[in-house]
Amino acid sequence: MKKVFFALIVLAVAGCARQHNSSLEEKVESTLSRMTLEEKVAMTHAQSKFSSAGVPRLGIPELWHTDGPHGIRPEVLWDDWDQAGWTNDSCTAFPALINLAATWNREMSALYGDCIGQEARYRKKDILLGPGVNICRTPLGGRTFEYMGEDPYLASALVVPYVKGVQQNGVAACVKHFAVNNQEMRRTATNSVVDDRTMYEIYLPAFKAAVQEGGAWAIMGSYNLWNGEFNCHNHRLLNDILKGEWGFDGVVISDWGGCREDDAAITGGLDIEMGTWTNGLRGAASNGYDEYHLANPYLERLRDGRATEEVLNDKVRRILRTVYRTSMSETPHYGSFTSPEHFQAARDIAADGIVLLKNDGALPLNPSKGSKVLLIGENAYKMMVVGGGSSNLKTKYEVIPLDALREAFDGKADVVWERGYVGDTTTVYNRVVTGQVLKDSRSPEKLLQDAVSAAKEADYVIYIGGLNKSFYQDNEGTDRFDITLPYCQNELIDALAEVTPNLIVVNISGSPVAMPWAGKVNAIVQAWYGGSESGHALADVLTGKVNPSGKLPFTMPLATADGPLKSPRQYPGVQEEGKEWWQEYYTEGIFVGYRWYDTNGIAVQYPFGHGLSYTSFEISDARVKKSGKGFKVSATLINTGERAGAEVVQLYIRDSEASVERPSKELKGFEKVYLEPGESRRLEFSIDPDALSFFDADAHRWVAEPGEFHALLGTSSADIRADIPFML
C-alpha cells in the first residue's frame, strides 16, 4: 500500500507540474499574441543600466537585473555604475563563490542560493547575475575568486543546488559567463580557440548541469569569442548547444556591452542585449538604448524583411517566460533582507570553506590567560567586500579578523595588531565607501622592523596577509602577473619565522599563491573573501569552535611556470597577421589543474582537494560492485580522532588504457560527512557509463570503452587511500 500511495503522490506532483507548465505557456502565448512589433523589440534590449522593458499597456512589468553573485548590488544610477545613494540597500555580503566551492558541500550551496535569492526578491530583482562557473584554467585569472574552481564535476555539483535555491524564491539565476571566459586580460578582444572534446569535457559541464539539473532560467554570454564568433551571439554555442542539445527554455542575456553585430545579435541566439553606458561598449552623452543592436537596427530589419518575426517571437517568448516565472509568478514571493539568519548563513558557509593546509600542532589556538596574541598583516584589518568589479557590495557590516579575534579572546588574551606592509589603501569603489583609514606613513623597512620587533615580544604570532581586490590581483578586468605574494610579503614572513618559534600564516585570497616559506611556519590556513562575517568565520576556525573541513577547489602550484600554459599562444593570446582579434589556443586540451600536475608527476605546494582537520579520519573496506549499467563504489569512513568534524571523501576514476589520451584521474564523486569521535558511516557512490566516458568529437558522442578502470578513493587528488580495479 505504501508503494501505491507513493506512486499516486508522484503522479499527482507530475500532473501539477505539467498543468503549471501548460498554464505558463498559455499565458506566454496569450500575451505574445497581443503585442505590437515595437513592444516586442523593446523587450529585447536594455532601457537602463540594470533593467529591460516590459509592456505597460498589457500590465507586463520590466525585468530588473542585479549583480551577484555574492550579494545584491546597491542601487545604481539609471545610466551609471555609481550607486544611487539609497540608505536602505546595504545587503548581506555572502562569501565569494570560490569560498563556497571550497566547502565541497551541496547543502551549503543550497543554503547560499536560498538566502541570496531571498535578498534579491526582497529588493524586487528578477534576475540575479550569477553564479559564475568558468573553470580556473590559469591561476592568474582575475575572476577566479568569483568562480567554483578548476574541476568541472565540482563546479557542476555545486551550481545545481545554488540555482535551485535562488529560483525557489521567484528569482532567475543567470549562470555566467558562457563560455571559455577564463581570463580577464583582453577579455573583449580574444578568440578562444578550443576543440570540441576540451569544450565538452572541461568547459561546458557546469553550464549543462545548471540547465538540465538545476533548471536555470537565464544564461549570460561571455565577452570573448569561441572559434571566431562572439559568445553573446555565437550561433553554435547558443542555438545548437544551449537551446538545441540541452533544451534550454530560458533567456540568454548579453554581458554588459558584449553584443557586437546587428545581424549576428538577431540570429545568434541572444534574447536580451544589456550594455555599458548607454550605447554598447561606447560612451554616449545622452540616452542611446534605442541604438542598441537589438533596438532600432532590429526594428528596421523587421520592417524591411531582412529579419523575421518568427525569430523575434522566440526571444519574446523566453523573456515573457522569465517574467511569469519571477515577478508574475503564480506563487507570491516576498523574500527577506539582512536577517540574522542570512548573516549566520554567511558565517557558516565562510567557515565551512576555510582550508587548513598545514598544522604542526599550532592550531587550534588556545592562549593562556594574560598572554599576548600578535596579528601581523594588512588583511587582518582591511575590509574586503568593497571592490573587485561587478561583485562590489555595500554591506550592512563587515567583521574584520582583528575585531573577531579580540572578541573571541576577550578577557583571556591581549590581541594587538602590526601592519607589516602597506598594500591597497583604496577604501571606495563606485562610491561605496568602507569608512576605514588605510594610509600609513612608515617606510616598508620600518613596517617590517616594527612587525619583527613586536613578534619577539608576543606569545602567539598570526600573520594574516595575501591578496586583495585591487587591479592585477583578485579583480574583474585584470589578471595577475604571477602567483607570488605582492608587497614583499614573502620577505616579511621569512623574517618573522626567524624570530618566533610558533608562526601561524593565514592567506586570504581568491586564487592560488606561491608559498616558498611553507616549510618554515607551523600552520597555514587558506581563507577567502568571506563576506560580512569573514572575521568571525576565521576566528571560529582558528580557535577550534569550528573544526576546519574545507578543501582546495584548485591546485596550489609551486610556481606559475609549472602549469600547463607554456606559451603566449596558450595564454594570454597572440596577434596573428590577418586576424582581427587576439588568438588564444587551448592546446593543453583537457589537461587543466590536477589533470595536468598529477598526470605528468609535477610536484605542487598543495594538491586539489587537500584540506586538514583537527581530528583524523580513516577510509576502509572499499568495494566496487556492478549495478545495472553502472557500478556502486562503497567504503566506510570513521572518525579516529578526539574531535567531531567533517571529512570530504573524494572519488576519482582512472582509465587503465584508452584509445585517446586521458588524465591519470578525474573527479567523479564526493561526499562531505560529519562524524562524532569514533563514529563511522558507510558511503556509496553511483558510477554510470557517462562517468567512465570521454567525448568523441568526430562522432559527437560520449564513449565508454570496455576494459579496466580504477576507482580511487581519497581525501585529495594526491592522497588516495583505496584503489579498486574493475572491468567495464
Give per-residue pLDDT as tens, 250-260.
999 999 999 99
| Domains present along the chain, CATH in parentheses | 35-80+92-325 (3.20.20.300), 355-546 (3.40.50.1700), 613-727 (2.60.40.10)
User: Is residue 3 over pLDDT 60?
Assistant: no
| pLDDT tens-digit map of 317-361 | 999 999 999 999 999 999 999 999 999 999 999 999 999 999 999
- If you write DSSP's letter for every residue of 305-350 in order, what string do you get? TSS-HHHHHHHHHHHHHHHHHTTT-SS------S-HHHHHHHHHHH
| Average pLDDT of the residues in 171-183 | 98
Looking at residue 13, its pLDDT comes to 43
C-alpha cell at 393: 557590495
> What's the pLDDT tens digit per position in 355-392?
999 999 999 999 999 999 999 999 999 999 999 999 99
Query: Residue 14's pLDDT is what?
Result: 46
Please state the rounded mean pLDDT for residues 695-715: 97
Q: What is this structure's pTM? A: 0.95
Q: Is the pLDDT of residue 9 over 50?
A: no
Structure letter (DSSP) for residue 56:
G
Stretch 420-440: mean pLDDT: 94
b/e sequence 28-60, b meaning 16+ C-beta within 10 Å = beebeeebeeebbbbbbbbbbbbbbbbbeeeeb
Q: Is the pLDDT reported for residue 295 higher than 50?
A: yes
For the chain, how are helix, strand and coil distributed in percent, rounded to 5? 30, 20, 45
CA distance 635 to 612: 20
Report whether pLDDT(592) > 80.
Answer: yes
Task: Say if residues 184 and 146 touch (Cβ distance below 8 Å).
Answer: no
Q: What is the mean pLDDT of residues 221-225?
A: 98
pLDDT computed for residue 575 by the predictor: 97
User: How does the average pLDDT of the chain come out, rounded?
Assistant: 95
Q: Is 540 a catalytic residue?
A: no
Range from 12-16, 286-290, 316-320, 515-519 carrying the lowest mean pLDDT: 12-16
pLDDT bin (cut points 50, 70, 90) of residue 413 is very high
- The SS3 call for residue 688 is coil
Q: Is a pLDDT exceeding 90 seen at residue 284? A: no
- The SS3 call for residue 67 is coil
Residue 81 is predicted with a pLDDT of: 85
Cα separation, 248 vs 362, in Å, equals 51
Residue 283 C-alpha cell reads as 560612451
Number of continuous H segments (helices) and E segments (strands) in the chain: 16, 28
Model confidence pLDDT, tens digit, residues 518-548: 999 999 999 999 999 999 999 999 999 999 9
Place of cell 523566453: 318
Q: Of 114, 255, 271, 540, which is the active-site residue? A: 255
